[in-house]
Amino acid sequence: MSVTKDDVRKIARLSRIAVPEDQMESLAEDLSGIMGWIEQLNEVDIEGVEPMTSIVAAKLPMREDVVTDGNIQDQVLANAPKSDEGFFVVPKAVE
């Protein structure tokens, strides 16, 4: 895929980036190279490959899901500038 100077202008406008006219050609070449690399990646056979989050097999330490600081509503609300009926009161942000 070839990226043109017009494509670069459009991408720059959409991303609100000011790109000087003298850099348009080199940026178009760079983006074309990136797109070529992506097309090359699309040719890789990934049939049967499981998705993974890391290249290293690691297990996260697990703990029991136990509530440890429950029933302290009064202590939590003591830090609030304003509360009402057990809830924080904050100024309205949206009209």
Taking the model in full, what pTM does it have? 0.50
pLDDT (tens place) for every residue of the chain, 95 residues total: 789 999 999 999 999 999 999 999 999 999 999 999 999 999 999 999 888 888 888 888 888 888 777 788 889 899 899 999 989 999 888 87
CA–CA separation, 51 vs 37, rounded Å? 21
What is the C-alpha R_g of the chain?
27
| Helix boundaries (H) for the chain | 5-14, 24-42, 73-77
Is 40 in contact with 1 (CB distance < 8 Å)?
no
In this predicted structure, what is the pLDDT of residue 65? 87
Structure tokens at 5: 């100077």
Number of other CB atoms surrounding residue 11 within 10 Å: 15
- Identity (one letter) of the amino acid at 33? G
How open is the CA angle 43-3-38, to the nearest 5 degrees? Answer: 20
In this predicted structure, what is the pLDDT of residue 26? 94
Helix (H) or strand (E) holding 50: none
